Amino acid sequence: MTADRWTRMVRQQVGLGRILPLGGRHDGAWIAERAAGTALRRTVEREVPEVRVDGLRLGLADDLEEAPEPAVPAPPSALPPGPLRLTAEFAATAAWPLPETASRLRTALAVAAAERLGLAVEEVDLRATELLDTEPDPPPSASDASDAQDAPDSPDVPDTPADRSDAAGTDGVGRAGDAETDRVAAAVLAVPGVSRLTGTWGRPVRLSEPPAGGGALPRRHARVDLAVGAGFRPLEVARAVRAAVAASLPDRPTVAVLVTDLD
């Protein structure tokens, strides 16, 4: 892997923010904080238009030492399953009394996190920072935001055969000429709600062999990075993807899903 490719992958991972658990420890699903935050901001735009949300962050509500272990191996740097805390600063107009605005905002964020995404948000901490004269401008569309994030990376093109085989192609295949990853990719793309494979860490589909002598991972493990289409709940899509991937291979590997984008 070239230095430029490595740098690009690091930038992509940092841009995703925290890797948050979707559902519970048996769901084997995670979502990028960036994707979750974008969806929550869109909800605020629709339901609480007089508010501008700043500095929205999501993390574990409890100590990491008390969080349960996931049932399958997690993506790199992913947070373990557990209740989440959402924190945000906000600015608002005087259209409503500030306590009422904060209450509406808290409800909108909590409901969207649970029902729209599948996040186990148990605490929502808000801090008002500014009084606005007019309603804030709407945030950029998903395509605009994606273009802005991808623009700095666009000149980076894989420049060796190894890099080209690692890159996520337009057909979503994880590794050129690998029949098994091709089969997994096809199974994933056939699941309703999957809009594309993303390959944040170089390949969208990764298959790991079990360690010699058994150990803690007795079966092979598959990890899939993907984007979920509009109108679909990421947690439900991830569950369907896990079932489809396990069924696509004869040894039925364990499966983890990382939702990196919401299209």
DSSP class per residue in 153-198: GTT----SHHHHHHS--TT--SSTT-HHHHHHHHHHHTSTTEEEE-
Distances (CA, A) of 107 to 27, 44, 174, 234, 235: 25, 10, 40, 20, 20
Q: What is the mean pLDDT of residues 126-151?
A: 66
pLDDT at 156: 33
Q: Right CATH number for 164-262 from 3.30.70.260, 3.30.450.20, 3.20.20.70, 3.30.70.1350?
A: 3.30.70.1350
Considering just the CA atoms, what is the radius of gyration of the chain in Å? 20
pLDDT band at 201 (very low <50, low <70, confident <90, very high): low
pLDDT at 66: 73
pLDDT at 109 over 90: yes
Q: How is domain 16-21+31-132 classified at the CATH fold level? A: Alpha-Beta Plaits (3.30.70)
What's the pLDDT tens digit per position in 180-194? 999 999 999 999 999
pLDDT at 10 over 50: no
Q: Do domains 16-21+31-132 and 164-262 have the same CATH topology?
A: yes
Q: What is the mean pLDDT of residues 212-239?
A: 85
Distances (CA, A) of 31 to 4, 20, 34, 109: 26, 5, 8, 16
Its sign, for the CA torsion 24, 29, 34, 37, is negative
When comparing pLDDT for 12 and 160, which is higher?
A: 12
Nearest to 198 by CA among 175, 224, 178, 221: 224
- % of the chain with per-residue pLDDT over 90: 64
pLDDT at 80: 93
Distance in angstroms (rounded) separating the CA atoms of residues 237 and 62: 27
Domain boundaries defined on the chain = 16-21+31-132, 164-262
